[in-house]
Amino acid sequence: MVQAARSEKVLRQLIFRICLHIRKSNENSCRPQGQVLLR
């Protein structure tokens, strides 16, 4: 359980970083837990 939650947190951070890298200009669109990237 703990390991899964930790990996999920890391995954979200990774998605957030990728999203930031893709669109550096507006990072506000990446804020909602990376949903913008996943859609």
Instruction: Give the range of the structural domain holding residue 30, as residue numbers without chain letter.
Output: 2-38
28: left (phi > 0), else alpha (psi -120 to 50), else beta? alpha
Task: Give the chain's domain count.
Answer: 1
- Report which of residues 34 and 19 the model is more confident about: 19
The pTM of this model reads: 0.46
Can you give the pLDDT at residue 15?
Answer: 85
Nearest to 16 by CA among 29, 1, 2, 5: 29
H helix or E strand, kind and range, residue 25 = none
pLDDT of residue 30: 52
